[in-house]
Structures are given as C-alpha cells and as structure tokens.
Amino acid sequence: MAEVDSFQNLLAARMLLKTSLEKSRSVASALEKTGPRLEEIKQSLPSLEAALRAQKCSLDALGGHISRAVGPATAVLKVFDAIHGLEKSLSSDPSSDLYGYLVVVKRLEEALRFLAENCGLAIRWLEDLVEFLKENAVIDDHRYLSNVTKSLKILRELQANEEGARLNGGLLSAAYDKLETEYRRLLRENGVPLPIISSASSIVAPSSLPVFVIQKLQVIIERLSANNRLESCLSTYIDIRSSNARACLEALGLDYLEISIFEFDNLQYMESSLDMWSKHLEYSVKNLLELEYQLCNDVFEKVGLDVSMDCFAKIAIQSGFLAFIQFGNTVTESKKDAVKLFKLLKIFHTLNELRLDFNRLFGGKSCNEIQIPTRQLIKRVIDGACEIFWELLPQVEVHRGTSPPSNGSVPSLVSFVIDYCNQLLQDDYRLTMIQVLEIHQNWKHQKFQEELLRKEVCNIVEAIRLNLDAWSKSYEDTPLSYIFLMNNHCHLYKALKGTSLGDLIGDFQLREHKKYRDYYASIYLRDSWGMLPGLLGHEDETLFSDGRAMACSLVKKKLKTFNEALDGTYKKQSNWVLANKNLRKRICQLVVDAIVPVYRSYIQKYGHFIEQDGIKNVKIYTEEGLVNMMSSMFQPKMGKCYSTNTRHSIDKKSEIVTSQFPSTTVVA
C-alpha cells in the first residue's frame, strides 16, 4: 500500500515536472521573443527621455511668455480706460477753467505717452507668444491660442487709437485746437486799442495785456510749444498784435507819409509834415513799439529771446512802421535848396533822440529789415546836410557879380542868409549841425575841429560884407549906393543885435554897422540934398537996387531952379526904399530939416514979390505940403516883406532866394 502510494507520488511528480518543463519551454520561448523588444525599448529610452525633458522646457517657456505679455497688456488696457474717462472733460470750453483744462490735457498727454511706450512692447510680447504656441504645437484644448490672438488684435487697435489721438481730428488734437481758440480769444478781447483825446490831437493808445492774461497765454504757449504747435501761436500773435498796432498808427492820420517828392515844393506843407512826422515817430517808438517789445518778451519769456525778437520784428514791420523811414527818404530825395538843410537836421535830430530806443528795440538780427533802411536814411541825411552846408559860402560868393536891387533896398539874399545863419546857430540846430559835421568828418577819416561851424558862418558873413561892397559900386547913381549901404548896415545891425550870430561876430562888428549906417546917412544928405538950400540963398539987397522988375525976375529964377532940383531929386528917388521904419522916418526928417526951414525963410522974405506982381508959372509949396512930400519918400511897396530874424521869415524869404540859389532835384 505504501508502495502504491509512492508510485502514485512519483507519477504525480513526473507529471508536475513534465508540466513545469513545458511551462519552462513556453517561458523560454516567450523570453526569447521578448528579448528583442526589450532591447528596442532599451534603445528608445534615451530619446524618450530627451523628448520628455523638451516638453517640460516648452511648458516652462510658455509660462514665461505668458507672464511677460499679460502684465503690460493689462496696464495698457487700464490706461486706455482712463483715457476714455478724460473725453468728457476735454470736450468742455477751456475758457471756463483754463488751468483745470490744461491739467486734463497734460494727463491725456501722459496717458498717450505711456501707451506709446508700452502698447508696442505688449504687442511684441503677445506676438512672440502666438508664434511660440504655433511653433511648439501646444495643445489648445482651452482655445489659448485663439484668445491670445484676439488680445493681440485689440492691442493693435489701441495703438492705432493712440496715434490717431495725436492726428487732426483726434482727441488730443481737438484739445490743442480748443487751446488755440482760447489763445486767440484772449488776444482779441484784451488787446483792442483805446482812443484818447489829448489837448493837441486825437490819438489811439496801444492796449497792453493784463497780467492774468499774459499768464494764461504763457501756459497755453508752453503746452502747445511742447507739442510742435509754437508756429501757430506765433502766427496768431503776430496777426492780432500787428493789426492792433496798424490801427493805432492809422488813427494818427498818416496820409502825409505817402507824399510825393514834388509835393515838397510847398515849404509850409513840408514844415507841418515834418513836425507831425517827428511827433508820430516818437510816439510809435516810445509808446507803441515799446509796448509791443515788452509784451513779446513777457508772453514768450519761457520760449526764448530769439523767438520773442522774431515775433516783435514781424509786428513792427507789419504795423507799417517802415513808412516813417520811407518819408525820411522822400525828404532826402526832394529838391535841394538851402532851407532843406533844416529839414534834414530835424530828421537827424529826431532819429538821434531815438537812437538808444532804436538800438534796443531793433538791435537784433531779426530786425534787419528796419536796421538797414534806417542806417541808409541816416547816411543820406548826413551826406545831404553836409553837402548843402558846404555849398552855402560858394553860393553867397557866386552872387557877388549879380545886380543889387534897383531901389537900394536890402537884397533878399542878405536878409535870408543872416536869418539863416542865426537860425543855424540856435541851440536846437547848432548842436545837431555840429554832430552831423563831426560824423561826416569821421567817415572821411578827417580830424574834427570844434570851431568848424563858427568859422564857416563867419566866412559866410564876411562874404555878405564883400558882396555889399561890390554891389554898392555897381550903382551909377552915387546917392543910391548910399541908400543901399544905409539900408544894409541898418539891417545887419538890427538883425544881429542880441542874436547868436551877433554874439559870434562880436560887439565891435555891431558898432561898425551902426557907424557905417550913420556915416552913409550923412553923406547921402550932403550929396543928395545939400545943394538945394544953396539954391535959395538970400540975396544982397544991392541986387534989388535996379528996380522991382529985376527983383521979381531974380526970385522967379531962383524958385524955378529950386523947384526943378527938388522935383528932379524927389522924382528920381521916389522909388528908392528905406526898409527900416525908424531909419526911414529919421532920414525923411533930416531932409525936411535941411529943406523946409530954408524954403520957409526964403518965401517969408521974398514971397511978397510973387504975390504983389502975380508971377505966374512958379510953383509955391506950402510948408505942410513940402513936409508931406518929404515924409512920403522911401516907402516900401506893398507886398514886400523885410522882416528880420524869425523862423517864419526864413521860409518866406526862401521862396525868393531859391530862385537865386541853384536847386536841383538830387539825392541829398
């Protein structure tokens, strides 16, 4: 039984071993087949490991891209929302609260500046993210790529909106337009010139700008200038302020500035025009342009001096100021005569008085359009004045060979030149003439002599004296030459006494004129009337012893001879003139004193012969008739003017003397 059990155990073991062997063979067969696969897996493990590592790196990179893009994009969106919040404030009128409006504009500028600096950056990072997602084929189960692409599109639109805000029609551009409108309104409403009535004339005062207006203009300019709109500010300012300045000048009545050269032949018109020119030029420089100069400096203070000077120069030119310079040129181009010297000196004096103002206002390069013609005018004035001045003496000398007045009166040339020199030596002209001569001498590199003017005037007076001597010798009638010399020495004495010219020539020369006046008066009476009393000399009584008839014949003869001599002398001298009233009265009285007493005495003694014998054809003068006859002599003809030593007489006499002084239409 035991054996049977052992055998059964062996069979069972044999079956188990057999089964195990078959399984081993199956496993061996399976292992044999699995080996190559394991080898294949073993060989692919390194590449798989590398792929997994790359996937991990890509996911890490994706996180970096997202982090970099999301921050700027979010900030850009927030700023854009803030810009939309400013639109309502910017649509308001800045005049109600300019400073508040400017604060909003500045915020908008800062917001747009932020967008300009960051929007592009956010767009570039989002573009990198999209490119990364596409290149790395990241699974897009949640539509990340689509959302990122949509965000990128929005940012691009925002960038376009930011750029558009700065263009015409954009939000910022519209805000700047409103500021320009407010800038223009401030200038127009606060710069209207105001009329002022003065005692002399009606003028228009230029209007300044209140301090608060200037401050508003400054902040507007600062904002617009920072955004390339300065030229618009300048153009508006120049247009409005130059228009105001032009209105101020036009209100003065400056039609005379357009006068032609030929109209200057009217001396009185020229004189009045020059007076107005001087006054109006001073007003224009010291009031009108001085104000514009200060305003330009104040308004454009923060922009720079060059800008303010350019602005001022354009205002001055567009106001019409250069018409004053052109008027001066017209005077220099007018007919050259002696009186023109005073006109040129007046122009120089006016310009010289304004020299410091001109240099300060128009000293910059921007004012070349005013500087250059002004310098040219000054040169023409100085050259012209010196040319006329140095021609005075030759012109006096050249008249030495001309004929003197036929009536023995004072030649117009003499009275004109004396009054002329007197006026030239007065302070308002003397100092100016000296300045002009000094400048002209310096231009020619010649040494200036302080006594140049005085010496030349003395030479002119001496030339007048020599002319008088030459003219007196040209009279065929000697007594007429005495009348002529009497007239002129009397005129010179009266015209020089107490004047600048009289002080120049001295008291001795004045006394000489007085002495010569009296000397020629005495020899005139002697040679012209001294013989008449002798014709009525009392006869010796023995001459009447031959009878009454002989006595009557002798008386008749003497009276006829006397009458012929008296009538002849009176007739010959009836057209002679003694210009000075006192001299005329004195000479007439001397003639009366020389003739009437002798005639009265003769008639009283021998007149009875005539009355008793009825002598006919013999004229008997009454004493009153004879006195009236003598007293009526030497009267000036109506219309003649022999006034002395006044500025008005200079202009009146110049109309006569101009025909004697050569005058041509030249540039002086």
How far is Cα 652 from Cα 50, in angstroms, rounded to an integer?
122
pLDDT band at 173 (very low <50, low <70, confident <90, very high): confident
Q: Are 544 and 550 in contact (CB under 8 A)?
A: yes
Q: Is the pLDDT of residue 124 over 70?
A: no
Element (H or E) spanning 272, and its range? helix 267-283
Q: What is the pLDDT of residues 562-584, one digit of tens each?
A: 999 999 999 999 899 998 999 99
Q: Work out the average pLDDT over 368-390.
A: 96
Q: What rounded mean pLDDT belongs to the chain?
A: 78
How far is Cα 536 from Cα 552, in angstroms, rounded to an integer?
14
Distances (CA, A) of 389 to 270, 384, 411, 667: 20, 9, 21, 15
Q: What is the pLDDT of residues 399-414, one digit of tens each?
A: 999 999 999 999 999 9
pLDDT band at 432 (very low <50, low <70, confident <90, very high): very high
For residue 655 the two structure tokens come to: 């109309």
Residue with tokens 């009825």: 614
pLDDT band at 49 (very low <50, low <70, confident <90, very high): very low
- Angle at the Cα of 456 (from 454 to 459), degrees rounded to 5? 110
How far is Cα 413 from Cα 392, in angstroms, rounded to an integer?
11
3-state helix/strand/coil string of 53-70: HHHHHHHHHHHHHHHHHH
pLDDT-wise least confident of 153-157, 233-237, 466-470, 524-528: 153-157
pLDDT band at 167 (very low <50, low <70, confident <90, very high): very low
User: What angle, 0 to 180 degrees and rounded to 10, lies between the N-to-C axes of helices 412-425 and 340-353?
Assistant: 10
Q: Are strands 335-336 and 664-665 parallel, antiparallel or unpaired?
A: antiparallel
pLDDT band at 105 (very low <50, low <70, confident <90, very high): confident
pLDDT above 90 covers what percent of the chain?
49
pLDDT band at 215 (very low <50, low <70, confident <90, very high): very high
pLDDT band at 605 (very low <50, low <70, confident <90, very high): confident
Q: Is the pLDDT of residue 639 over 60?
A: no
Q: For 319-451, where are the alpha helices, taking DSSP H only?
A: 322-333, 340-353, 355-362, 368-398, 412-425, 427-443
3-state secondary structure of 666: coil
3-state secondary structure of 335: strand
Phi, psi of 203 (to 5 degrees): -125, 165
Q: For the chain, report the end-to-end CA distance as a whole number of angstroms.
A: 174
How far is Cα 256 from Cα 246, in angstroms, rounded to an integer?
16
Q: Which one-letter DSSP state was computed for residue 447?
A: -
For residue 351 the two structure tokens come to: 């310009």
320: left (phi over 0), alpha (psi -120 to 50) or beta: left
Q: What pLDDT is recorded for position 254?
A: 92
Across the strands, what pairs with 202? 197
Q: Which residues contact 63 (CB under 8 A, 6 or more apart)?
A: none
Instruction: Name the nearest CA neighbour of 208 among 236, 253, 184, 244.
Output: 244
Q: What is the DSSP string of 433-483?
A: HHHHHHHHHHHTT----TTHHHHHHHHHHHHHHHHHHHHHTT-SSHHHHHH
Q: What is the DSSP string of 139-204?
A: --TT-HHHHHHHHHHHHHHHHHHHHHHHSTTSHHHHHHHHHHHHHHHHHHHH---EEEE-SS-EEE
For residue 364 the two structure tokens come to: 């910059």
Q: Is the pLDDT of residue 472 over 50?
A: yes
pLDDT band at 519 (very low <50, low <70, confident <90, very high): very high
Q: Are 539 and 533 in contact (CB under 8 A)?
A: no
Q: Work out the average pLDDT over 577-594.
A: 93
DSSP 3-state percent helix, strand, coil across the chain (nearest 5): 80, 0, 20
Q: What is the pLDDT of residues 222-231, one digit of tens each?
A: 989 888 899 9
Distances (CA, A) of 28 to 34, 35, 411: 10, 10, 164
Long-range CB pairs of 622-631, under 8 A, 24+ apart, other chains included? 623/596, 623/599, 626/592, 626/595, 626/596, 626/599, 627/592, 627/596, 629/570, 630/588, 630/591, 630/592, 630/595, 630/596, 631/588, 631/589, 631/592
How far is Cα 169 from Cα 635, in angstroms, rounded to an integer?
91
Q: Is the pLDDT of residue 199 over 50?
A: no
Q: Are strands 202-205 and 194-197 parallel, antiparallel or unpaired?
A: antiparallel
Q: What pLDDT is recorded for position 666?
A: 29
Q: Are 259 and 323 in contact (CB under 8 A)?
A: no
pTM score: 0.74
Q: Is the pLDDT of residue 338 over 70?
A: yes
Q: Work out the average pLDDT over 588-607.
A: 89
How far is Cα 71 from Cα 52, in angstroms, rounded to an integer?
30
pLDDT-wise least confident of 461-470, 519-528, 650-659: 650-659
How far is Cα 266 from Cα 20, in angstroms, rounded to an integer?
155
